[in-house]
């Protein structure tokens, strides 16, 4: 019997085990910085699966290890979820964690505790097969991704000194192989006006008008942005997601405006080029950079559930891996061996921990995850158990092929 067939048989054998493990996670609310209880469940599951070592780092990531080989492969999944939003939009309890009708139901099943559950099963499969390749297999249940994608891997690489040779992100890919996505950054633009009594606005300098002229230039900038040269990632985008004004009173001219920009970056666009474009929009609005308006790349810093304060600049680089690279081709090979067909090789629409894994640290990586990303952050979240089975088989087979 081929190795791939043995792996598929074991993945099917552990179908209920994987689904029930995910259901147990879903029952535990785990928004960013509130992952302590669900991480304790992840630790329990990894130990039950027979991992050689399970530990929790200073930020709260759970790191499970199998083997001690020279090549290091890490399977990453973030355990934190977004909130449930308006409960009226849910047809069931978001924390139901029920396995029914071929799905696991609840918040986090797609995005993305399903990937963690499948990865843990992959580890159990490797242990049962007596995996003896010269490879160290890690499963990382990471934290705070929804609040600041990539922060967890900044900590892992820089503080824990864990820098794998290869990484698979288990963010949902609909069981396709993904090799990149656009980057992003968060930019703040602050406008300084001059207040005066609202009965004589000509005496002041209205920051709201200044910012409004700038806003129209940002709209035009978004229309001018171009796709990458091979049109794989598509065009970058920029939009205003927040507009706040202030004045001494409601009977006074606004002397302050803060605008928050959501900038998505395609291949070839950088932090420096994006900031320069924003500054040009300030000039096109008839304003002076630094005097009338100040541009800032924003910074994130929050306290993890462990009590550690940690942060990073809110610049999350674009990344993409050529389809010919070994990290991608090992995925293609694994997929064909398991499922006897060619995979679709594509990209994510949204951002992932890949912004640091490959964007900053250039670690070769791919994405392969259960569930469809269109259901991420949406009400009535659920994931097919079939996807969990196939994903757990894929991660195990990939360990043999990389």
Span 301-330, pLDDT tens digits: 999 999 999 999 999 999 999 999 999 999
Q: Which domain holds residue 157?
A: 3-181+318-401
Q: What is the tens place of the pLDDT at every residue in 161-183?
A: 999 999 999 999 999 999 999 99
Same domain? For 124 and 11 the reply is: yes
Catalytic residue among 80, 111, 146, 186: 80
Could you tell me the pTM of the whole model?
0.95
Same domain? For 205 and 259 the reply is: yes
Q: What is the predicted pLDDT for the residue at 100?
A: 97
Domain count, the chain: 2
- Residue 306 belongs to some domain of the structure: no
Strand partners, 227: 235
Q: How far apart are CA 216 and CA 284, in angstroms?
A: 10
Q: What is the predicted pLDDT for the residue at 287?
A: 98
**Residue 76 annotated as catalytic:** no
Ramachandran bin of 398, using left for φ above 0, alpha for ψ from -120 to 50, beta for the remaining angles: alpha
Catalytic residue among 35, 57, 76, 145: 145
Which two three-digit tokens encode residue 275? 């900031």
Same domain? For 177 and 187 the reply is: no
SS3 57: coil
Residue where a domain stops, chosen among 241, 268, 301 = 301
Same domain? For 187 and 163 the reply is: no
Same domain? For 141 and 56 the reply is: yes
Consecutive sets of 10 residues in the chain, 402 residues long: mean pLDDT of each?
Answer: 95 98 98 98 98 98 98 98 97 96 98 98 98 97 97 98 98 98 98 98 98 98 96 97 97 98 98 98 98 98 98 98 98 98 97 97 98 94 98 98 96
Same domain? For 363 and 264 the reply is: no
Angle, helices 36-49 vs 114-128, to 10°: value is 20
- CATH number of the domain to which 293 belongs: 3.30.70.360
Q: Cα dihedral angle (310, 311, 317, 320), rounded to 10 degrees?
A: 20
- CATH number of the domain to which 336 belongs: 3.40.630.10
Q: What are the phi and psi torsion angles at 303 (to 5°)? A: -100, 120
SS3 41: helix
**Residue 80 annotated as catalytic:** yes
Q: CA-CA distances (angstroms) from residue 254 to 200, 208, 261?
A: 13, 6, 20
Same domain? For 55 and 157 the reply is: yes
Q: What are the phi and psi torsion angles at 199 (to 5°)? A: -80, -15
Q: What is the predicted pLDDT for the residue at 1?
A: 79
Q: What is the DSSP letter of 40?
A: H
């Amino acid at each position: 019997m081929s190795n791939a067939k043995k792996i598929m048989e074991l993945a099917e054998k552990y179908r209920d085990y994987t689904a029930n493990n995910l259901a147990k996670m879903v029952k535990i609310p785990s928004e960013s910085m509130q992952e302590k209880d669900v991480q304790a469940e992840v630790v329990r599951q990894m130990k039950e699966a027979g991992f050689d070592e399970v530990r929790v780092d200073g930020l709260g990531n759970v790191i499970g290890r199998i083997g001690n080989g020279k090549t290091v492969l890490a399977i990453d999944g973030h355990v934190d979820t977004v909130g449930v939003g308006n409960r009226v939009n849910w047809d069931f309890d978001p924390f139901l964690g029920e396995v029914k009708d071929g799905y696991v139901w609840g918040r986090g099943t797609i995005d993305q505790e399903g990937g963690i559950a499948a990865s843990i099963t992959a580890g159990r499969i490797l242990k049962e097969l007596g995996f003896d390749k010269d490879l160290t297999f890690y499963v990382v249940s990471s934290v705070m991704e929804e609040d600041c994608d990539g922060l967890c891997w900044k900590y892992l690489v820089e503080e824990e000194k864990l820098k794998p040779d290869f990484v698979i992100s288990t963010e949902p890919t609909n069981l396709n192989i993904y090799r990149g996505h656009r980057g992003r950054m968060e930019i703040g633009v602050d406008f300084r006006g001059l207040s005066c009594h609202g009965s004589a606005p000509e005496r002041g300098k209205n920051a709201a008008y200044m910012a409004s002229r700038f806003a129209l230039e940002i709209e035009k900038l978004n229309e001018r942005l171009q796709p990458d040269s091979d049109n794989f990632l598509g065009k970058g985008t920029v939009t205003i997601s927040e507009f706040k004004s202030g004045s001494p009173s409601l009977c006074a001219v606004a002397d302050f405006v803060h605008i928050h920009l959501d900038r998505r970056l395609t291949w070839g666009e950088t932090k420096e080029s994006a900031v320069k474009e924003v500054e040009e929009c300030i000039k096109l609005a008839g304003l002076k950079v630094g005097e009338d308006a100040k541009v800032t790349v924003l910074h994130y810093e929050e306290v993890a559930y462990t009590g550690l304060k940690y942060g990073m600049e809110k610049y999350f680089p674009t990344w993409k891996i050529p389809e010919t690279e070994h990290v991608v081709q090992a995925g293609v090979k694994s997929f064909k061996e398991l499922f006897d067909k060619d995979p679709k090789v594509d990209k994510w629409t949204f951002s992932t921990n890949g912004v640091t894994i490959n964007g900053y640290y250039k670690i070769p990586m791919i994405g392969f995850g259960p569930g469809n990303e269109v259901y991420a952050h949406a009400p009535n979240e659920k994931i097919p158990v079939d996807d969990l089975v196939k994903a757990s088989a894929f991660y195990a087979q990939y360990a043999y092929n990389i």
